[in-house]
Amino acid sequence: MEFDKDSLYKLGKLSKIQIDDSKLESLSSDLASIIKFIDRLKSIDTENVDPTSNSLDQSLVMREDIASDVNTADEILENAPQNELDFFSVPKVIE
Amino acid sequence: MKINLNFIEACSLLEKNETTSVELTKIYLKNIKEAKELNCFNTISAEQALDDAEKSDIRRKQGKLKSRFDGIPIGVKDLFCTKNIKTTASSKILSNFIPSYESTVTQNCIDAGLISLGKLNCDEFAMGSTNKTSFYGPVTNPWKSNKSEAKLVPGGSSGGSAAAVAADLCVVSLGTDTGGSIRQPASFTGTVGLKPTYGRVSRWGIIAFASSLDQAGPITKTVEDAAALLEIIAGHDPKDSTSSIKEKESFLDNLNSSVKGIKIGIPKEFKSDGLPVSTQKAWDDCKKLLQSNGAELIDISLPHTMDALPTYYIIAPAEASSNLARYDGVRFGIREEGENLIEMYEKTRSIGFGDEVKRRILIGTYVLSSGYYDAYYIKAQKIRSLIKNDFNQAFEKVDAILTPSTPSTAFEIENEPNDPVQTYLNDVFTVPINLAGIPAISIPFTNDENNLPIGLQLITNSFEEQKLLNIAKNVQDTINYKSVPKNWWKS
């Protein structure tokens, strides 16, 4: 896999990360090196193997639904870069 | 007072009224102050620590101790959310984040009466094996080669946690391990590092990197200390749906160092021509030691060992790219203004994340993107099953597995290779364990020809931490490793 300018820009858009033009070359070679490394898995036969997403052999545990007063709106909003009227505030999204 | 106290010794001094929690806390705060050059701490919470220590001393006088470990000063990796204490994950993007809640692990420590001295430096979002990806600068290993003055990496990502214990800046510390982040730095600093079974310790309130692999664990001076700290932090947590419902165990009281009749597996895939002679020798010596103490050595095969690292570098970045999507400048952390919402996201993340974190988000996004998901992500999860199956089969024949912890000892900070894959190879011996979800411990065994610590790794089956600690104690008690770094950093 080659990471040219366009594919890096596309990946950046998907990841919401701006790709710095001065780092295009080094980023391209770093990512290509990592992809080459993980591509070695392609030769392994996994035809009849089930995927593992979690190593813990336990079904989900239910807990009592009890109200608690941690993480109140006031506490949470203290970490918000901008807030208004008990809401997080962001740049305008509707033209 | 004797320096370099371990957890059990410190508890005993408090119990005999030969010191107080305030006195201990002051000693460690002084040690921390004198060790600025090591850059172990991101945040030192001196006032809070002294206040907590004073309360512990009062509890002791009143006979109302929270636990037998009440009053011992510890260090906490800056990845655990701590109420009203800045928690950064060593990232710029969280440089102003002050949690309104306490992680379950640190709450368990508070409930046992432990005193937090502050937050320990680590690789940014725990992504790294050198501690060099921290926004707050690298941690320096207290150990130096006897042939050079060059500064060495402490390993990572829990580099600050390991270096702080090795340099005696706290009695014990908390780390996290996603692919070796406790065991590799423990190996590089001559300390004991334990990664528990996935689910043994709650992940609630720990800043997530790769949720199916992350586990918190202790970094300590002795195996007994690791048993004690594990006992404090482990247990079911209703707030973490992947935390195990198994009963809490008394790992410390149940320590039994006999290895008579214990079967130790030696996996042939870990043998490599690239392994330093001194590491190979340490591994061989440990085999002989266990054998002469009554254990039986059995050659085993873990055929997918070399597939673990590339598998990890699909699964971990994929989970990370998803977990780190929350850092968008809206709810917490820094914000960089933009013309519109999307530009605000992009600018915030571009300024807030360092290069290694960006690389992993990009790779994770790539392997999860349309057209590649099956070829990479599902494929990796299938190989994860094969890796887990290798261990399952091995544990039908053996009680534990013995390997080196790392393919080298600590290396120079300035000497990191340009190719990220070369750096990833540091974790080649530790990563398979996280993918299988089983517990493993790194213990210092000896020093190499440059007087740098060599760690060996013991691995057992899921939830067999007691057996793991028992065998580790046998090795520890037989070799009696007492090496400590020269304190060149004292200003």
CA distance A60 to B196: 20
Helical (H) or strand (E) element with B10: helix B7-15
Angle between helices B379-397 and B305-323 (to 10 degrees): 130
Q: Does residue A32 lie within any of the structural domains? A: yes
Q: Does residue A63 lie within any of the structural domains? A: no
Residue B482 annotated as catalytic: no
Is pLDDT above 60 for B171? Answer: yes
Tell me the average pLDDT across B310-333. 97
In DSSP terms, B455 is beta-bridged to B444
Beta-carbon contacts of residue B268 (< 8 Å; ≥ 6 apart): B299, B300, B301
Contact B257, B292 (CB under 8 A): no
pLDDT at position B273: 84
Is pLDDT above 60 for B177? Answer: yes
The catalytically annotated residue of B56, B90, B145, B181 is B181
Q: Does residue A17 lie within any of the structural domains? A: yes
Tell me the average pLDDT across B374-383. 96
pLDDT at position B38: 98
Percentage of chain B exceeding pLDDT 90: 94
The residue in chain B having the minimum alpha-carbon distance to the alpha carbon of residue A49 is: B382
Closest CB from A18, A63, A78 relative to B346: A18
Q: Rounded mean pLDDT of chain B? A: 96
Contact B386, B441 (CB under 8 A): no
- Distance to chain A for B331, nearest Cα, Å: 5
Residue B77 annotated as catalytic: yes
CA distance B157 to B151: 17
φ, ψ of residue B355 in degrees (nearest 5): -60, -45
Residue A58's SS3 state is coil
Is pLDDT above 80 for B106? Answer: yes
pTM of the model: 0.97
Is pLDDT above 90 for B415? Answer: no
Residue B211 annotated as catalytic: no
Burial of B1 (0-12, 13-18, 19+ CB in 10 A): exposed
Least confident of A48-57, B25-34, B166-175, B279-288: A48-57
Tell me the average pLDDT across B349-367. 97
Tell me the average pLDDT across B469-491. 94
Quick one: pLDDT band at residue B146, thresholds 50, 70, 90? very high
Query: Which alpha helices (DSSP H) does B218-276 contain, by range?
Result: 223-233
CB neighbour burial string for B42-65, b if at least 16 within 10 angstroms, e if fewer: bbbbeebbbebbbbbbebbeeeeb
- For chain A positions 53-82, those within 8 Å of chain B (CB to CB) are 53-58, 60-61, 63-64, 70-72, 75-76, 78-82
Tell me the average pLDDT across A6-31. 94
Closest CB from A14, A34, A56 relative to B244: A56
Angle between helices B277-292 and B465-479 (to 10 degrees): 100
Q: Do A55 and B437 touch (CB under 8 A)?
A: yes
What structural domains does chain B harbor?
7-258+464-479 (3.90.1300.10)
Over residues B28-68, the pLDDT tens digits come to 999 999 999 999 999 999 999 999 999 999 999 999 999 99
Q: Do A81 and B333 touch (CB under 8 A)?
A: yes
Q: Do B97 and A42 touch (CB under 8 A)?
A: no
pLDDT at position A95: 67
Total tally of structural domains belonging to chain A = 1
Q: Does residue A70 lie within any of the structural domains? A: no
Q: Does residue A76 lie within any of the structural domains? A: no
pLDDT at position B208: 98
Contacts of B369 in chain A (CB under 8 A): 11, 14
Domain containing residue A10: 5-41
Q: How high is the ipTM of this complex?
A: 0.95
Over residues B340-357, the pLDDT tens digits come to 999 999 999 999 999 999
B390: left (phi over 0), alpha (psi -120 to 50) or beta: alpha
The catalytically annotated residue of B45, B56, B77, B243 is B77
The residue in chain A having the minimum alpha-carbon distance to the alpha carbon of residue B463 is: A56
Quick one: pLDDT band at residue A71, thresholds 50, 70, 90? confident
CA distance A10 to B491: 50
Quick one: pLDDT band at residue B491, thresholds 50, 70, 90? low
Q: Is A88 on the interface with B (CB under 8 A)?
A: yes
Closest CB from B341, B379, B424 relative to A46: B379
Tell me the average pLDDT across B324-348. 96
- Distance to chain A for B432, nearest Cα, Å: 12
Q: Does residue A68 lie within any of the structural domains? A: no
Residue A17's SS3 state is coil
Beta-carbon contacts of residue B264 (< 8 Å; ≥ 6 apart): B287, B290, B295, B296, B297, B298, B398, B399, B400, B401, B402, B471
Is pLDDT above 90 for B431? Answer: yes
Over residues A75-95, the pLDDT tens digits come to 999 999 999 999 999 998 876
Q: Is A4 on the interface with B (CB under 8 A)?
A: no
Contacts of A90 in chain B (CB under 8 A): 330, 341, 344
Tell me the average pLDDT across B227-256. 95
CA distance A2 to A31: 9
Q: Does residue A82 lie within any of the structural domains? A: no
Closest CB from B245, B385, B438 relative to A58: B245
Quick one: pLDDT band at residue B2, thresholds 50, 70, 90? low
Contacts of B349 in chain A (CB under 8 A): 15-18
Is pLDDT above 60 for B278? Answer: yes
Contact B186, B454 (CB under 8 A): no
Bond preceding residue B103 cis, omega within 30 of 0: no
One-letter amino acid for residue B261 of the chain: G
pLDDT at position A1: 56
Over residues B34-45, the pLDDT tens digits come to 999 999 999 999
CA distance B285 to B445: 9
The radius of gyration of chain A from alpha carbons, rounded to an integer in Å, stands at: 23
- Distance to chain B for A71, nearest Cα, Å: 7
The residue in chain A having the minimum alpha-carbon distance to the alpha carbon of residue B378 is: A51
Tell me the average pLDDT across B433-445. 98
Contact B7, B229 (CB under 8 A): yes
Quick one: pLDDT band at residue B287, thresholds 50, 70, 90? very high
Contact B377, B426 (CB under 8 A): no
Q: Count residue pairs from A and B with Cβ separation < 8 A.
A: 175
